[in-house]
Chain A
């Protein structure tokens, strides 16, 4: 056997063969985390409700009915109606679409940016690393919500801008994480072996090092979805996020800034608040379960 084949065999042995066993162990470890399983169930239900919103909602979320305005919960309107008579339960269901998708899209954007910058930074090191890390330091100095509302004031508030802005401004944590992974992994024997058989930088980064740093990235992205949902809710609460008449969980609570609604119509602001907390808590539990299952050291 030539040395090239030996090295290739070593690379192949380093992970691929163990894949099924590792997956089974992962599933078992995740299932042992009862809160994570509960979180997964809750999020699945919320996700399905969001996808099939037209079937789940009892009313049209945009139909104004002034005669039915400001009603408390009843058999017809499970969670009452808002100040122009729209059904609160139906708006909550449609709001799930907005809030969950903002979370997912924003995290996809920033995870992509963070992984690419972190990989480049950690793999190449030297001047490139220094430059990217100073950029990361700089972006990290800005309080997230403050820089986001500043950016929203420039682009104008809309659901797409909110997704994009959260995505563009919150990649720093992922970048640091991936860089750290690359710094330690690039010195390992299997990377050396792959390099010795002539693998290119791109191949080393994407085929060899990156797959091995996926676990912590998935964990942090999961927590990231929870954080992004909270950020969107905060923005919409301030009136700077998703704009009415489109419903999001955050802008449904925005109504409670009026004293009468806060004092006399808790059915308008309490359910969206509870729903945000439940969704975010569930996702955080899933993240915790993934962390335990993927990283036996933690």
Chain B
């Protein structure tokens, strides 16, 4: 896949920089944008999610790096990482240098609250988009066991990395059913921005 560099840069910049609520919400926006353009399909998005979760550091930037790599090689990686990190970093630098505490601005707090609620919705949609192909395909029992393991360990306070490692081991050890609909792309969805 060789996505046009300018478009790629714009999509990553827009979907990461203009999203409140962190990387999970941005990843959902990126999924919609990249799939709408036919640049990636659902299994590729799932692969990018897995790789970004297993990479140290900020997950959304790992998503940008690997997504950019798949779409346009080294140039795509550099463009996506720069697009996903530079504008936000410049805003933070500007605020750190000028404003000081933002807490006193009611407008900022109000916007932040709405941004967080919108981001929570996006994160839930993202979780469902990832889980749906597994839950509707063959081997649902195996999927439910992995979900139960991950949820239990996370809720008792294990770090996400440990949860992922144990879940990965469980995934390898649990018997697999016939491959289900997980390899099929999900239906395209409408784009929504925060």
Q: Do A and B come from one complex?
A: no
Question: Which residues from chain B sit less than 8 Å from chain A, CB to CB?
Answer: none
Question: Which residues from chain A sit less than 8 Å from chain B, CB to CB?
Answer: none
